[in-house]
């Protein structure tokens, strides 16, 4: 049963505690990465057979396989994918930015260019866990497509029969993915980071995964860019006494069913609501297909925190800095400016977090583990880089050379000073 805790009567360490029950896989991941670097495709096939229990001949999804998968997807679900994709495109299109140029000083031109990454890799958990995350494909690939990336490569583990979930492949087609590889785990990350005979090296790796994927992304960072080191999923609900406890329980369980390490938290100023939600969670758990996972999450990491008032509840939410934050209030927009730290905020009593997972348009790849204090949701910005440029006329450079030289001399860099003034004729070459 989920715990009820009263803020001020429990130690802060208990109120703000997060799940840390993850095994250290760093050594195993390092060995996998080294093997993929040394052996390429041979190592990939070996690891796929070992970890995903599939013996692969071809590592890349062929056009025929893609067409066969598309034929298995119902027109109704394809329509859902297309409507969700349209919403995601519309939202992320607002994030597109162009460079700029400045010419305020005579003879000086400076500017910034925004350049799409040439090739990106997207990790998508497969259907082996029973959750073929087609939504993850849309959320990661559509911003990359809008950014103008030259090639979008996707890795996702195959089923034991060597196929990929039709839902995942259909989402890949809707989202504009260029190539799909039947790979998962640390070996997939290693292949994207270093390249093999079949898998091209990418410039950035994005997307979620388990402990092996997270650790592999950490270890290859620097060789390639990454989006974030994602931890277990989190939801925090702030609610007053007016909310229906059935709705709040359902919203909390929607994240608890992700992972045994997921965290579902309710912060309320109503002790009566806290007890009602506690009872409702117990009533709803048996109806979940993933009851065992959700129950472990609720019992190990879930909590209901009773705060003195709504102001205190929002302060607690900011301190926790959750991945998903629901403001289940009549006037949520009145409190939106008070929220400083959250990955994505869901406003009102009619906006469950699941709406953001699939259809609303904002990204569902969000900072976890309190990193919302300094990190942002995945966006078009994750798929571009910036480059700057500078131009001086001869006259403008001569006018500024003395200031540059003085700066350089203070720093003890006489070579810099010489480089600045040598063009002015003040010293001999």
The two three-digit tokens of residue 83, written as one number: 């409507």
pLDDT of residue 129: 56
Q: Are residues 203 and 135 part of one domain?
A: yes
Does a structural domain hold residue 59?
yes
Rounded average pLDDT over 192-197: 98
Q: Are residues 239 and 196 part of one domain?
A: no
In the chain, the percentage of residues whose pLDDT exceeds 90 is 91
Under 8 Å CB-to-CB from 104, ≥6 apart: which residues? none
Under 8 Å CB-to-CB from 312, ≥6 apart: which residues? 7, 269
Helices (H), 148-290: 166-175, 185-194, 211-220, 245-256, 271-284
Count of domains for the chain? 3
Quick: pLDDT tens for 125-140.
975 555 789 999 999 9
Q: Are strands 151-155 and 108-116 parallel, antiparallel or unpaired?
A: unpaired
Under the banding of pLDDT at 50, 70 and 90, the label for residue 429 is very low
Residue 118 scores a pLDDT above 60: yes
Rounded average pLDDT over 180-191: 97
Residue 17 scores a pLDDT above 80: yes
Give residue 69's Cα distance to chain centre.
Answer: 26
Q: Are residues 313 and 166 part of one domain?
A: no
User: In Å, what is the CA distance from 120 to each residue of 110, 190, 393, 411?
Assistant: 29, 13, 38, 40
pLDDT of residue 426: 53
pLDDT of residue 23: 79
Q: Are residues 290 and 215 part of one domain?
A: no
Residue 274 scores a pLDDT above 90: yes
pLDDT of residue 130: 59
Closest listed residue to residue 122, CA positions, set 159, 172, 66 = 172
pLDDT of residue 231: 86
Cβ atoms 147, 385 nearer than 8 A: no
Residue 427 scores a pLDDT above 90: no
Quick: pLDDT tens for 65-117.
999 999 999 999 999 999 999 999 999 999 999 999 999 999 999 999 999 99
Q: Are residues 273 and 309 part of one domain?
A: yes
Task: Indicate which CATH number applies to the domain containing 357.
Answer: 3.40.50.1980
Whole-angstrom Cα distance, residue 201 to residue 193? Answer: 6
Catalytic pick among 324, 335, 341, 364: 324
Q: Are residues 134 and 218 part of one domain?
A: yes
Q: Are residues 110 and 157 part of one domain?
A: yes
Under 8 Å CB-to-CB from 212, ≥6 apart: which residues? 25, 28, 29, 32, 185, 186
Q: Are residues 346 and 312 part of one domain?
A: yes
Residue 22 scores a pLDDT above 90: no
Rounded average pLDDT over 299-322: 97
Residue 120 scores a pLDDT above 70: yes
Catalytic pick among 48, 323, 326, 353: 323
Q: Which residues does residue 5 pair with via DSSP β-bridges, in sequence order?
A: 305
Whole-angstrom Cα distance, residue 265 to residue 234? Answer: 8
Residue 21 scores a pLDDT above 70: no
Rounded average pLDDT over 218-229: 96
Under the banding of pLDDT at 50, 70 and 90, the label for residue 386 is very high
- Residue 399: give the domain boundaries: 393-424
- Phi and psi at 291, nearest 5°, equal -60, -45
Helices (H), 285-309: 291-301
Quick one: DSSP state of residue 373?
G
pLDDT of residue 19: 73
Residue 347 scores a pLDDT above 60: yes
Give me the chain's average pLDDT, please: 95
Does a structural domain hold residue 403?
yes
pLDDT of residue 165: 94
Residue 335 annotated as catalytic:
no
pLDDT of residue 355: 97
Residue 143 scores a pLDDT above 60: yes
Rounded average pLDDT over 130-156: 95
Does a structural domain hold residue 294?
yes
Question: Taking the model in full, what pTM does it have?
Answer: 0.94
Q: Are strands 303-306 and 263-268 parallel, antiparallel or unpaired?
A: parallel
Give residue 40's Cα distance to chain centre.
Answer: 27
Please say which residue of 321, 337, 361 terminates a domain.
Answer: 361
């Amino acid at each position: 049963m989920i715990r009820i805790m009263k803020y001020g009567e429990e130690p802060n360490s208990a109120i703000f505690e997060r799940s840390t029950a993850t095994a250290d896989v760093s050594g195993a991941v390092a060995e996998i990465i080294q093997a993929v670097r040394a052996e390429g495709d041979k190592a990939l096939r070996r690891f796929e057979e070992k970890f995903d229990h599939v013996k692969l001949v071809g590592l890349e999804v062929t056009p025929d396989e893609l067409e066969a998968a598309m034929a298995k997807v119902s027109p109704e679900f394809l329509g859902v994918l297309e409507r969700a994709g349209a919403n995601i495109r519309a939202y992320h299109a607002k994030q597109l930015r162009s460079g700029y140029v400045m010419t305020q000083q005579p003879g000086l031109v400076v500017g910034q260019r925004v350049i799409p990454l040439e090739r990106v890799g997207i990790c998508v958990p497969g259907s082996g866990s029973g959750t073929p995350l087609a939504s993850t494909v849309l959320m990661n690939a559509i911003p990359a497509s809008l950014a103008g990336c030259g090639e979008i490569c996707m890795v996702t583990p195959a089923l034991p029969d060597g196929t990929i979930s039709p839902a995942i492949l259909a989402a890949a087609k809707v989202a504009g993915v260029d190539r799909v590889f039947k790979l998962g785990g640390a070996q997939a990350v290693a292949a994207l980071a270093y390249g093999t005979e079949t898998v091209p090296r990418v410039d950035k790796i994005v997307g979620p995964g388990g402990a092996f994927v997270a650790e592999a992304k950490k270890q290859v960072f620097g060789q390639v860019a990454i989006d974030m080191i994602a931890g277990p999923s989190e939801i925090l609900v702030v609610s007053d006494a007016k909310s229906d406890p059935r709705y709040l329980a359902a919203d909390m369980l929607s994240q608890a069913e992700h992972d045994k390490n997921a965290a579902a938290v309710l912060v309320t100023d109503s002790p009566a609501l806290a007890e009602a939600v506690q009872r409702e969670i117990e009533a709803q758990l048996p109806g979940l297909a993933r009851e065992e996972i959700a129950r472990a999450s609720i019992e190990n990491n879930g909590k209901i925190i009773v705060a003195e008032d709504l102001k205190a509840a929002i302060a607690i939410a900011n301190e926790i800095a959750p991945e998903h934050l629901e403001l289940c209030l009549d006037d949520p927009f009145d409190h939106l400016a008070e929220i400083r730290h959250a990955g994505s905020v869901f406003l009102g009593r009619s906006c469950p977090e699941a709406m953001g997972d699939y259809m609303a348009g904002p990204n569902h790849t969000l900072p976890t583990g309190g990193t919302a204090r300094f990190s942002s949701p995945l966006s078009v910005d994750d798929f571009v880089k910036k480059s700057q440029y500078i131009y001086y006329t001869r006259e403008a450079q001569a006018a500024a050379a003395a200031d540059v030289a003085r700066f350089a001399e203070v720093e003890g860099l006489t070579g810099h000073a010489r480089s600045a003034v040598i063009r002015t004729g003040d010293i001999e070459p």
